[in-house]
Amino acid sequence: MKKTRLIALALTCMLAAGSGFAADPKSDLASDRAAIEAAARDYIDGWYEGNAERMARALHPDLAKRTIRGLPSGRGFLQTLSSSTMIEYTKAGFGKESKKDGQVNEVIILDQLSASASVKTISHEFTDYLHLAKINGEWRIVNVLWEPLKK
């Protein structure tokens, strides 16, 4: 009987500790929506501006940005970029080099919860699917799956 109570107590403590996924009582969906869009804009517009500060502000340090690449054999694999790589590429101006005059980057919020969101960004070159998380009150991009647009 004591063992059962200890297990129940341990499970209760684990659930309480994991309650970081619960809704933030101070969360306001409208202001969160604006912050989500701002993070997505920092990502996509920062890339084409060559603004590493904006890119760094948008990304979580543990970002995993992935795309599917093909080998000459026809086999596919996932290529992964890190937060630090994206910031360095932005600083080097890789996006700035391909920016078009009058370019408009589209940001579409697909889904929003209290601590996570899914966003789609579209530029003249790429479609990116972003996963954002609200951590310590800040919306940051934690995952990106992207693909170049067909030319």
Q: Given this model, what pLDDT does residue 71 score?
A: 86
Token pair, residue 61, equals 């340090």
In a domain, 105, yes or no: yes
In a domain, 21, yes or no: no
- Structural domain including 122 reads 28-148
Residue with tokens 């919020």: 109
In a domain, 11, yes or no: no
Cα–Cα distance for residue pair 49/123, rounded to 1 Å? 13
pTM of the complete model? 0.80
CATH number of the domain at 88, please: 3.10.450.50
pLDDT tens-digit readout, 129-144: 999 999 999 999 999 9
Token pair, residue 128, equals 């990116």
Count of domains forming the chain: 1
In a domain, 16, yes or no: no
User: Residues of the chain with pLDDT > 70: what percent?
Assistant: 81
Longest dimension (CA), the chain: 73
Alpha carbon 83 to chain centroid, angstroms:
10
Single-letter amino acid code for the residue at 133: A
Cα–Cα distance for residue pair 150/148, rounded to 1 Å? 6
In a domain, 23, yes or no: no
Average per-residue pLDDT in the chain?
87
Q: Given this model, what pLDDT does residue 22 score?
A: 46
Nearest-CA neighbor of 86 among 53, 133, 118? Answer: 53
Q: Given this model, what pLDDT does residue 13 score?
A: 44
Q: Given this model, what pLDDT does residue 79 score?
A: 96
Q: Identify the DSSP state of 115.
A: S
Given a cut of 70, whether residue 122 has pLDDT beyond it is yes
